[in-house]
């Protein structure tokens, strides 16, 4: 069963971003980057960042976004240099085994 991909407005560092978000294992996660395998017809998050335990609201009636994350997140969570992201008190999962059809 495929999960819906949502949109969330997030502040990383000092920048407002519109980021994909998913529900996985009953929790809400941001997906700042996808890894695609076009030849096999799927994509997978490079990293997921839990946000249902941070201050956030559902963006009812806001076109183009489903959630607004009020907590500012470190911009280092957007760096993909082969090393795991480190952000104290924020749950981050590197390369989770989650696939979405393209």
List the chain domain ranges.
Answer: 6-101
Give me Rg for the CA atoms of the chain.
13
Question: What does the CA dihedral 12, 18, 20, 24 come to, rounded to 10 degrees?
Answer: 60
**How does residue 76 score in pLDDT terms, banded at 50, 70 and 90?**
very high
The mean pLDDT of the chain is 93
Q: What is the pTM of this model?
A: 0.92
Give the Cα-Cα-Cα angle 88, 66, 93 (nearest 5 degrees): 30
Q: What is the pLDDT of residues 15-57, one digit of tens each?
A: 999 999 999 999 999 999 999 999 999 999 999 999 999 999 9
For residues 52-73, give the mean pLDDT: 92
């Amino acid at each position: 069963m495929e999960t819906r991909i949502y949109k969330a407005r997030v502040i990383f560092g000092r920048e407002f971003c519109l980021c994909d978000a998913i529900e996985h294992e009953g929790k809400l996660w941001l997906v700042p980057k996808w890894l695609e395998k076009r030849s096999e017809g799927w994509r997978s998050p490079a990293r997921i960042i839990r946000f249902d335990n941070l201050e956030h609201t559902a963006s009812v009636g806001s076109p183009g976004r489903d959630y607004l994350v009020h907590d500012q997140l470190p911009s280092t969570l957007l760096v993909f240099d082969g090393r795991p992201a480190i952000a104290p008190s924020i749950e981050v999962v590197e390369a989770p085994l989650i696939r979405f059809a393209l």
